[in-house]
Amino acid sequence: MGQILEFVAAYMGYLWPEARFRITDSDVTQHNGNNSMLTIESDLLRLRLETDRRQLFLDFQPAETDRPKDWYSVEIVRRFFRGASEPSGLLDESFAAFVGEYLDDIEDHFSPARWEETRTALKELERKRSKEMWG
């Protein structure tokens, strides 16, 4: 959990002003190298930061969803907004900067009014990435 908290404190301070986002869930396991998870939410957007074997990931989901297992990686979300594929989906400072820069737009696209259109586009980008990776 320390790795997640250090990253959020160092690179994602934009989440906290005006109590826009709040921590809503966390978990730590002793298996596979002490994996951990932290969920942060606004009224429109849910962010899940996870460590898996000391690698850090970030996924997004609408705060209100009827598909609780549908999460979209920061890599796919950045590709949705910027159009370019990414060499890695591991969370780093450039992904954190992207989230800070596009946070209002991300929330807007994950809002109930725009979600189905956004979800369709994100699913298509996932299919495209899979095809690029595996043929």
Q: The pTM is what? A: 0.92
Q: Does 32 have pLDDT greater than 70?
A: no
Q: Please state, in angstroms and as integers, the Cα–Cα distance from residue 58 to each residue in 38, 46, 75, 131, following that order.
A: 10, 10, 9, 22
**pLDDT tens string 78-101:** 999 999 877 778 899 999 999 999
**pLDDT band of 130, cuts 50, 70, 90:** confident
**pLDDT tens string 50-59:** 998 889 999 9
Q: Does 47 have pLDDT greater than 80?
A: yes
Handedness of CA 76, 80, 82, 84 (dihedral sign): positive
| Residue extents of the structural domains in the chain | 2-134
**pLDDT band of 135, cuts 50, 70, 90:** low
Contacts within 8 Å (CB) and 24+ apart, 48-53:
49/4, 49/7, 49/8, 49/91, 50/4, 51/1, 51/3, 51/4
